C-alpha cells in the first residue's frame, strides 16, 4: 500500500488513538496516532523525542500531557497504549512499562509491548535507509544488545532474537561477517524513494540533543499521513532485498563504543540511533498487520501480561549460577557448603548466604540445580528416562552454560524432580523434565517448568518448545493444558525407536495468584475482613456515603501491596503479594529481583484490591475512575522498587484524571498503629524498628515529627538477618531467631549492649553483630557444638535491653503518655512483651499495631493518604521516587 492520503475511516466518528512511548535509554520517545481497524494502519499524529538526562520518571507524563493537549486529543480518546519493552536500561525500561501499565489499567484499554530495538530499525526505515542494518544498544557493563535487520521498501526483517554480549565480542562478530558484497570498497546504499519513506533530513532531528519537536509539524493541514506504507505481501525470495555493499550501524552504544565498531559498517547519522515515536508506531503497525498484536483487543493485551525485555538474570542470580556449578561439598538441606563442619574456616555475616528456599504448601522446595546434585539427577534420570538417561557428567556439564537454565525440586533432602532448558533464538527448548514416580500428581513438573520459563523470559525467550514420547499421553495432556500445541512428529527419535511429538507453546506460568506469588487479602487488618462480611449484606449503601475513596500502593522493598480506604478511615480492601520466596535463597532482599517482581505483580495486586473493595461496598464493580485520589509510597526504600510503584500510580492518576498523593513510608508505619487502635492520637513516642530503620520518634501531632535518635550503623532487622545467616538459619532472620530464642536462655551468653549508657538516644548494632559472629567462630574452632537457642536468646535479649532502655529515656525526655511501635521487628514477641512491662511500670498507654500490620503494607499508606487528601496535599506528575527522606521534614 503506497497511498499516504488514506481517508480516515468513519470520519464522522470520534477517532481512536494509540499512545506509544519509550524510555529505554536517555531519550523520551512519544508517538500518537489514529488507529484504522479495517486496513490495520496507523495515521501519524505526532512523534516527539526529547533528552531525559536520567529524569524520565519526572518528564514522561508531563510531555505526554503536553503532546495530547497540543493536538487536541483527550485521554478518553486513547484506545490503546503501546510501550517500548527494551532491551535497554533496566530502570528506564521499567519506568515506561510501569507508567504504561498504570495508564492502560485506568483507561481500561489494551497495552501492547513492542521492541525498543525494532523501533530504532523502523525509524531508520522511515528515514529511507535500506540494506543490512545492525542496531547496537548500550547494555552497560561493557556489554551491548546487538540485533541485525534487513530493510527494503516493503519493511524490515529481524534476523535474530534479543541477546546481550560483550561489546568487543559484538564488534568481532560483525567484523567477521565482513563486507556484505565482498568488495573492499564499501559504500552506503542510497535512500529509498518509496512513498512510505519520503522524509528529507529537514523532517528529522539534527541531533539527539535538539529541542523536542513533533513530526506532525511537517504534515500539511488537512493531509492524512500514515506512519508507514507497508505492503501486504512478503518480499519475493531471492531478489526482494536490495544488494548492499556495506552494513549500516545505529544504536546508542555507538556513543560509547564508536571506535570499537568503526570497521564493522557505516554508522547512520546520530539522530537515527534512538527509538522515536514514529518508530514505535511502525513497530506496532507491523505487529498488527502480521497478526501478532491487536491494539483494539483488551482481553488479548491485558496490561498485567506486558513485561520488559531483560536478556539476562540479575547479578545475584548470575553469581549464584557460577557458584552452584562448582562441585564443592554441599549440605543437602541448604544447598551450600556446611559452615558447621568447616572448623578450619571462619564464619562471617556474609558466609555464602544460606539459601533456604521456602517450601510450598506440599512441602516441596524449588531451587536452581547445583553440581552437587548432578549425581542424584542422573540416578532419577535412569529411573524415569531409561535408555535415554543422561549421565552425571553430562548433567554437570550443562550447569555452567550461560544459555542453560536448570531447576530442581526437593522434598526435605530428597530430590523430587528436575527440569532444564536451552535458550536459543528467543525460545527455550525444554531439554529434560523428570519427577520421582512416587511424587507425581503434585504439580511438581508444572512448577519446575514455570521456574525454567521465568528465568528463560529474563534471558530473552518468549516461546517454549519440547519433545515428548508419542506414547506419553499424560505428559501431552499436561503440555496441552499449558497452551502447547503439536507441530509434528520426529520419527524414531528416542533410542528405543519411539517417535517424539514436537510441541510448542507460551512460556508456562506458575500456579499462583500473581507473578509466582500468593495474594494475602486483608493483610493489614482482620477488622477489614469482618467489615466486608458485614457490609456485603447491605448492598443498598452508596459509595457516596464513603467518600473519599483512595487507593494506595506500596512497593518500597519486597512487598507489592494495594489498599483502598474510605472517608471514615476504614480499610475496605488490603492486598499484599510478598516476594519472600524469591529472596530467601539469597539470604536477603535482592534489589533487582524486587523491582522485577513489582512490575510483574502490580496489576494483579491492584485488580484484586478493586474486586475486594467492590464486594465490601456492595457494588458489582469498582474502577479507577470511581476513586477520589491515588497514593503511593515515594520514599524511603529501594529506588528500583519505589520507581515501579511511583510510575504506575502516576500513570493511573493521570489517566483517570485524579489527584496524586505521595506518602513517606516511615510515616506509614506511624499510622499503622491506627489499624489496631482507631482512637490513637499523638502526642506519643514511637519506636520504628525494621530491616532498614531503627528510630525513636516524637509524634507531636499528625505530620509533626521529631526524630530523637537513630542507629549509627545497622538497623535491628538487618542485625537479625545477618546473625541468622551466620548461624545458617535462613532468611528472614527475625522470625527464625525469635523461634529459636524461645527455646533458649537469654542470660546464657553476655553479649554487649552497645550505647546502652551513652546518655543519648542513638543506637548501634554493628558491635553486637560482630560479637555474636566472633563467639560462633570461637566455638567452632574449639570443636564445640553450637547451642543455637542460647545464642539466639542471648542476642535477642541484648537487642531488647537497649531498645527498652532508650524508649524509657525518650518517654521521660518528652513527657509523652503514649508509646507505640512500628516496623517489621515490631512483631517480635520478646520486644512486645518488654514494652508492655515498661509501659505498665511507667503507667503509659501502649499502642501496638496488629501483627499483620507490622510489615510493609498498603493499608498504612492509605491512612496517611486519607489525611493528605483531606488537607489538599497533592504531588505533581513530576514527582519521583527517593531512596532517602527525612521524616522530620514536611512534604
Confidence of residue 539 (pLDDT cuts 50, 70, 90): very low
User: How confident is the model over 386-407, as a mean pLDDT?
Assistant: 93
The Cα 888–Cα 891 span in angstroms is 9
Q: Which of 11-20, 112-121, 475-484 has the lowest mean pLDDT?
A: 11-20
Torsion, Cα of 666, 667, 672, 675 (10° steps): -160
Q: Pick out the residues of the known binding site.
A: 665, 669, 688-692, 721, 734, 828, 856
The Cα 452–Cα 444 span in angstroms is 12
Does the pLDDT at position 333 exceed 50? no
User: How confident is the model over 196-225, as a mean pLDDT?
Assistant: 34
Nearest of 250, 147, 171, 111 to residue 460 by alpha carbon: 147
The Cα 283–Cα 126 span in angstroms is 11
Delimit the CATH 3.30.420.40 region(s) of the chain.
17-125+185-236+269-305, 519-672+859-870, 684-848
Q: Which three cell numbers stand for residue 780?
A: 567452632
Task: Indicate the SS3 state at residue 155.
Answer: strand
Torsion, Cα of 863, 864, 870, 874 (10° steps): -130
User: How confident is the model over 483-511, as a mean pLDDT?
Assistant: 91
- pLDDT tens sequence across 239-248: 444 444 578 9
> What pLDDT sits at residue 181?
38
The residue that leads in pLDDT, 353 or 22, is 22
> What pLDDT sits at residue 520?
74
Element (H, E) at 80: strand 78-84
The Cα 131–Cα 618 span in angstroms is 61
Burial of 618 (0-12, 13-18, 19+ CB in 10 A): middle
What crossing angle do the helices spanning 473-481 and 444-458 adopt, rounded to 10°? 50
Q: Which fold has domain 519-672+859-870?
A: Nucleotidyltransferase; domain 5 (3.30.420)
Nearest of 158, 135, 160 to residue 265 by alpha carbon: 135
Q: What is the CATH number of domain 684-848?
A: 3.30.420.40
Q: How far is CA 359 from CA 174, 316, 333, 420, in A?
A: 47, 21, 12, 20
Q: Which of 47-51, 270-274, 540-544 has the lowest mean pLDDT?
A: 540-544
Q: Which of 42-51, 199-208, 210-219, 607-616 has the lowest mean pLDDT?
A: 199-208
Q: Which three cell numbers stand for residue 170?
A: 559484538
Which residue blocks in 56-130 are alpha helix, DSSP H? Answer: 56-70, 90-107, 116-126
Confidence of residue 707 (pLDDT cuts 50, 70, 90): very high
> What pLDDT sits at residue 525?
60
The secondary structure of residue 357, as a DSSP letter, is: P
The Cα 73–Cα 295 span in angstroms is 18
Confidence of residue 587 (pLDDT cuts 50, 70, 90): confident
Q: Which three cell numbers stand for residue 385?
A: 528416562
Confidence of residue 226 (pLDDT cuts 50, 70, 90): low
What crossing angle do the helices spanning 788-814 and 716-727 adopt, rounded to 10°? 170
The Cα 249–Cα 507 span in angstroms is 32
Under 8 Å between Cβ of 597 and 579: yes
Q: Pick out the residues of the known binding site for Fe cation.
A: 665, 669, 856
- pLDDT tens sequence across 269-291: 999 999 999 999 999 999 999 99
Torsion, Cα of 548, 864, 582, 54 (10° steps): 100
User: How confident is the model over 80-102, as a mean pLDDT?
Assistant: 97
> What pLDDT sits at residue 517?
66
Confidence of residue 332 (pLDDT cuts 50, 70, 90): very low
Does the pLDDT at position 353 exceed 50? no
Nearest of 185, 242, 357 to residue 730 by alpha carbon: 357
User: How confident is the model over 634-646, as a mean pLDDT?
Assistant: 97
Does the pLDDT at position 196 exceed 50? no
Q: Which three cell numbers stand for residue 354?
A: 544460606
The Cα 130–Cα 151 span in angstroms is 5
> What pLDDT sits at residue 549?
98
Percent of the chain with pLDDT strictly greater than 90: 73
- pLDDT tens sequence across 124-137: 999 999 999 999 99
- pLDDT tens sequence across 760-777: 999 999 999 999 999 999
Could you give the angle at the alpha carbon of 308 between the alpha carbons of 302 and 314, nearest 5°?
135
What crossing angle do the helices spanning 591-617 and 526-535 adopt, rounded to 10°? 30
Could you tell me which CATH class the domain 315-462 is placed in? alpha beta
The Cα 828–Cα 724 span in angstroms is 15
Q: Which residue has the cell 519440547?
A: 466
Nearest of 880, 875, 854, 857 to residue 554 by alpha carbon: 857
Task: Indicate the SS3 state at residue 146.
Answer: strand
Confidence of residue 360 (pLDDT cuts 50, 70, 90): confident
Delimit the CATH 3.40.630.30 region(s) of the chain.
315-462
Does the pLDDT at position 142 exceed 60? yes
Does the pLDDT at position 209 exceed 90? no
User: How confident is the model over 93-99, as a mean pLDDT?
Assistant: 98
Q: What's CA 453's distance to the chain center, in Å?
A: 16
Question: For the range 313-317, what are the long-range contacts, defined as Cβ-Cβ under 8 Å and sequence gap of 24 or more?
Answer: 313/455, 313/458, 313/459, 314/458, 314/590, 314/592, 314/593, 314/596, 315/592, 316/586, 316/590, 316/592, 316/593, 317/368, 317/455, 317/590, 317/593
> What pLDDT sits at residue 514?
64
Q: Which fold has domain 17-125+185-236+269-305?
A: Nucleotidyltransferase; domain 5 (3.30.420)
The Cα 85–Cα 101 span in angstroms is 12
Q: What is the DSSP string of 710-746?
A: EBSS--HHHHHHHHHHHHT--SSHHHHHHHHHTTS-T
Q: HSE-up of 42 (CA within 13 Å, CB side)?
A: 33
Q: Which of 63-72, 268-277, 322-331, 363-372 has the lowest mean pLDDT?
A: 322-331
Parallel, antiparallel, or unpaired: how do β-strands 660-664 and 427-435 relate?
unpaired
Confidence of residue 523 (pLDDT cuts 50, 70, 90): low
Q: What is the average pLDDT value for the chain, to the nearest integer?
A: 86
Q: Pick out the residues of the known binding site for substrate.
A: 688-692, 721, 734, 828
Q: Which three cell numbers stand for residue 167?
A: 561489546
Rounded CA Rg of the chain = 29
Does the pLDDT at position 214 exceed 60? no
Amino acid at each position: 500500500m503506497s497511498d499516504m492520503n488514506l481517508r480516515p475511516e468513519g470520519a464522522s466518528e470520534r477517532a481512536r488513538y494509540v499512545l506509544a512511548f519509550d524510555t529505554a535509554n536517555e531519550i523520551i520517545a512519544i508517538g500518537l496516532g489514529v488507529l484504522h481497524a479495517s486496513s490495520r494502519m496507523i495515521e501519524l499524529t505526532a512523534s516527539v523525542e526529547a533528552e531525559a538526562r536520567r529524569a524520565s520518571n519526572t518528564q514522561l507524563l508531563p510531555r505526554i500531557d503536553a503532546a495530547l493537549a497540543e493536538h487536541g486529543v483527550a485521554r478518553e480518546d486513547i484506545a490503546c497504549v503501546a510501550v517500548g519493552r527494551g532491551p535497554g536500561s533496566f530502570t528506564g525500561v521499567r519506568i515506561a512499562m510501569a507508567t504504561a501499565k498504570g495508564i492502560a489499567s485506568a483507561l481500561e484499554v489494551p497495552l501492547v509491548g513492542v521492541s525498543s530495538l525494532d523501533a530504532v530499525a523502523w525509524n531508520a526505515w522511515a528515514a529511507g535507509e535500506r540494506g543490512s542494518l545492525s542496531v547496537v544498544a548500550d547494555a552497560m557493563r561493557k556489554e551491548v544488545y546487538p540485533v541485525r535487520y534487513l530493510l527494503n521498501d516493503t519493511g524490515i526483517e529481524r534476523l535474530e532474537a534479543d541477546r546481550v554480549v560483550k561489546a568487543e565480542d559484538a564488534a568481532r562478530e560483525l567484523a567477521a561477517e565482513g563486507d556484505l558484497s565482498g568488495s573492499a570498497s564499501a559504500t552506503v546504499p542510497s535512500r529509498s524513494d518509496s512513498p512510505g519513506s519520503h522524509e528529507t533530513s529537514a523532517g528529522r532531528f539534527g541531533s539527539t540533543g535538539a529541542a523536542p519537536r513533533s513530526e506532525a509539524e511537517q504534515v500539511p493541514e488537512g493531509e492524512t499521513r500514515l506512519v508507514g506504507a507497508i505492503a501486504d505481501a512478503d518480499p519475493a525470495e531471492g531478489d526482494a532485498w536490495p544488494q548492499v555493499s556495506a552494513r549500516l550501524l545505529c544504536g546508542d552504544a555507538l556513543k560509547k563504543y564508536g571506535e570499537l565498531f568503526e570497521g564493522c559498517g557505516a554508522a547512520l547519522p546520530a539522530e537515527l540511533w534512538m527509538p522515536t515515536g514514529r518508530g514505535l508506531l511502525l513497530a506496532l503497525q507491523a505487529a498488527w498487520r502480521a497478526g501478532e498484536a491487536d491494539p483494539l483487543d483488551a482481553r488479548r493485551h491485558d496490561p498485567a501480561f506486558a513485561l520488559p525485555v531483560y536478556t539476562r538474570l540479575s547479578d545475584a542470580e548470575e553469581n549464584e549460577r557460577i557458584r552452584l556449578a562448582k562441585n564443592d561439598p554441599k549440605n543437602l538441606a541448604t544447598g551450600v557448603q556446611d559452615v558447621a563442619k568447616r572448623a578450619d574456616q571462619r564464619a562471617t555475616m556474609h558466609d555464602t548466604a544460606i539459601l533456604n528456599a521456602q517450601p510450598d504448601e506440599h512441602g516441596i522446595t524449588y531451587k536452581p540445580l547445583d553440581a552437587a546434585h548432578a549425581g542424584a539427577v542422573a540416578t532419577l534420570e535412569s529411573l524415569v528416562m531409561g535408555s535415554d538417561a543422561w549421565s552425571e557428567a553430562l548433567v554437570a556439564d550443562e550447569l555452567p552454560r550461560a544459555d542453560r537454565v536448570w531447576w530442581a525440586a526437593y522434598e526435605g533432602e530428597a530430590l523430587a524432580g528436575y527440569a532444564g532448558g536451552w535458550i536459543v533464538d528467543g525460545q527455550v527448548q525444554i531439554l529434560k523434565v523428570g519427577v520421582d514416580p512416587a511424587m507425581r500428581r503434585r504439580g511438581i513438573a508444572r512448577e519446575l517448568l514455570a521456574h525454567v520459563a521465568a528465568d528463560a523470559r529474563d534471558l530473552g525467550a518468549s516461546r517454549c518448545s519440547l519433545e515428548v514420547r508419542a506414547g506419553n499421553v499424560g505428559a501431552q495432556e499436561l503440555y496441552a493444558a499449558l497452551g502447547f500445541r503439536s507441530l509434528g512428529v520426529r520419527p524414531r527419535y528416542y533410542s528405543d525407536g519411539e517417535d517424539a511429538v514436537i510441541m510448542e507453546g507460551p512460556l508456562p506460568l506458575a500456579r499462583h495468584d500473581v507473578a509466582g506469588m500468593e495474594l494475602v487479602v486483608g493483610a493489614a487488618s482482620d477488622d477489614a475482613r469482618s467489615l466486608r462480611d458485614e457490609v456485603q449484606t447491605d448492598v443498598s449503601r452508596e459509595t457516596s456515603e464513603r467518600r473519599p475513596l483512595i487507593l494506595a500502593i506500596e512497593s518500597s522493598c519486597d512487598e507489592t501491596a494495594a489498599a483502598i480506604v474510605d472517608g471514615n478511615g476504614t480499610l475496605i480492601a488490603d492486598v499484599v503479594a510478598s516476594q519472600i520466596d524469591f529472596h530467601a535463597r539469597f539470604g536477603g532482599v535482592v534489589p533487582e529481583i524486587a523491582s522485577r517482581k513489582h512490575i510483574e505483580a502490580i496489576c494483579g495486586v491492584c485488580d484484586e484490591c478493586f474486586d475486594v473493595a467492590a464486594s465490601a461496598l456492595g457494588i458489582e464493580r469498582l474502577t479507577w475512575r470511581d476513586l477520589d485520589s491515588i497514593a503511593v509510597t515515594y520514599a524511603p526504600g529501594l529506588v528500583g522498587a519505589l520507581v515501579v510503584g511511583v510510575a504506575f500510580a502516576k500513570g493511573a492518576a493521570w489517566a483517570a484524571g485524579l489527584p496524586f498523593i505521595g506518602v513517606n513510608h516511615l510515616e506509614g508505619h506511624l499510622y499503622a498503629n491506627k489499624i489496631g487502635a482507631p482512637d490513637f492520637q499523638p502526642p506519643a513516642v514511637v519506636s520504628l524498628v525494621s530491616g532498614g530503620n531503627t528510630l525513636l520518634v516524637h509524634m507531636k501531632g499528625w505530620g509533626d515529627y521529631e526524630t530523637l535518635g537513630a542507629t549509627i550503623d545497622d538497623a535491628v532487622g538487618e542485625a537479625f538477618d545477618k546473625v541468622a545467616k551466620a548461624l545458617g538459619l535462613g532468611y528472614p532472620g527475625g522470625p527464625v531467631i525469635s523461634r529459636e530464642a524461645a527455646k533458649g536462655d537469654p542470660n546464657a551468653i553476655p553479649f554487649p549492649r552497645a550505647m546502652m549508657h551513652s546518655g543519648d538516644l542513638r543506637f548501634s548494632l554493628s558491635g553486637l553483630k560482630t560479637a555474636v559472629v566472633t563467639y560462633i567462630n570461637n566455638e567452632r574452632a574449639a570443636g564445640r557444638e553450637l547451642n543455637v537457642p542460647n545464642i539466639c536468646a542471648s542476642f535477642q535479649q541484648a537487642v531488647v535491653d537497649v531498645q527498652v532502655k532508650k524508649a524509657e529515656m525518650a518517654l521521660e525526655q518528652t513527657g509523652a503518655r503514649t508509646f507505640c511501635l512500628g516496623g517489621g521487628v515490631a512483631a517480635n514477641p520478646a520486644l512486645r512483651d518488654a514494652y508492655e512491662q515498661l509501659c505498665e511500670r511507667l503507667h503509659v498507654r501502649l499502642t501496638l499495631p496488629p501483627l499483620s500490620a507490622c510489615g510493609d503494607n498498603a493499608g498504612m499508606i492509605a491512612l496517611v493518604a486519607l489525611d493528605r487528601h483531606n488537607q489538599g496535599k497533592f504531588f505533581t506528575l513530576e514527582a519521583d521516587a527517593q531512596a532517602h527522606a527525612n521524616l522530620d521534614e514536611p512534604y
